[in-house]
Amino acid sequence: MVLGAFEAAFGIVVTVGLAVGAVAARALTPIAGVVAAAFGAVIVVLVGYPFLALLILFVVASVLATRYRIDEKRKKNLQEGTAGERGVPNVVAHIVLPTALAIAGAGATPVLSTPLLAILYASALAFGAADTFASELGVLAGRARSILSLRPVTPGTNGGVSAVGEAWALVGAGVTAAVGLGLFRLFSTAIPPTAVFLGTVTASGFLGCQVDSVLGETLENRGWLTKGSTNFLGMLSAVAIGAVLYGALGGAL
């Protein structure tokens, strides 16, 4: 699955160019752009274009969600960074695990089969989209409740959820699953049956988002986790859920 020299060089150039563009558009801080380019280069070289393309589309969707009604978010002090830009902790939290999966699925004797790699990788990014959509779009609903006690909380509170946010989380996970399916089919990447792929990725991303909210309320609010570590563990839970569901549906782990 490792790309040839020319394809790898082209992929790296594209990755670096996109990172530069993201920094220029103030979607990423300069250092975060360097980190994103480095990890993205590893992904495209090891597992190819469809995996990089899905990552890029996730980033684009996240930026659009983050910038949506940004002035309103800034007035309420709910924005990411100073103007919606993502820093190193956020980038690392969302790209380390997909990169680790790419490494595990590469080489002559990969740890993960290609179908399992595709479903776990997509599940990780489905979590990222679900979490970002729920946070950036759900926070505009104007009301939220604790995911555990259901008591009203201030929008933006760790562990606070709303019907609008949950709906957007499901949309984020589902769209990622659908786009991932299309990309893997386009590049002739081996994946599980369509229903298994779509159902597993969507469910994993959405449920991982719920785990993230629980961790936010129980541990992050107490100072035991940072936002980045909460996001990482939420993504890890989505990958674990994806592996369990894939196995339960007959996949070979």
Give residue 176's pLDDT: 97
Per residue in 48-94, pLDDT (tens digit) is 999 999 999 998 888 888 777 676 767 666 555 555 567 788 888 89
84 occurs within a structural domain:
yes
- Residue percentage of the chain with pLDDT more than 70: 91
- Tell me if 171 is assigned to some domain: yes
Q: Is 143 left (phi over 0), alpha (psi -120 to 50) or beta?
A: beta
| Residue 185 pLDDT > 60 | yes
Contact 206, 234 (CB under 8 A): no
CA atoms of 127 and 181, how far apart (whole Å): 16
Q: Tell me the pLDDT of the chain averaged across its residues.
A: 88
Per-residue confidence band for 142, with pLDDT thresholds at 50, 70 and 90: confident
- Whether 244 is in a domain gets the answer yes
Residue 78 identity (one-letter amino acid): L
Query: With contact defined as beta carbons under 8 Å apart, do 208 and 123 qualify?
Result: yes
Phi, psi of 122 (to 5 degrees): -65, -35
- Rounded CA-CA distance 214/61 in Å is 24
DSSP output for 79-144: SSTTTS-B-HHHHHHHHHHHHHHHHHT-SSS-SS-HHHHHHHHHHHHHHHHHHHHHHHHHGGGS-E
Per-residue pLDDT, 253: 42
**How many structural domains compose the chain?**
1
Q: List the domain range (segments joined by +) for residue 168.
A: 5-248
pLDDT for res 52: 93
Please give the Cα distance from 97 to 60 (Å, whole number). Answer: 19
Give the model's pLDDT for residue 252: 46
3-class secondary structure, 150: coil
Residue 152 φ then ψ, to 5°: -60, 140
Whether residue 99 is predicted with pLDDT greater than 70 in this model: the reply is: yes
Residue 41 lies in a domain: yes
Task: Kindly list the distances between the CA atom of residue 116 and the CA atoms of 60, 113, 184, 230, 246, in Å, as whole numbers in the listed order.
Answer: 25, 5, 12, 24, 8
Q: For residues 221 and 158, give the distance between their C-alpha atoms in angstroms, rounded to a whole number.
A: 7
Instruction: Give me the pLDDT at residue 237, please.
Output: 98
What integer is the mean pLDDT of 236-247? 96
Report whether pLDDT(3) > 80. no
Both tokens of 135, joined, read 């946070």
- For residue 253, being part of any structural domain is answered with no
Read off the pLDDT band of 188 (50, 70, 90). Answer: very high
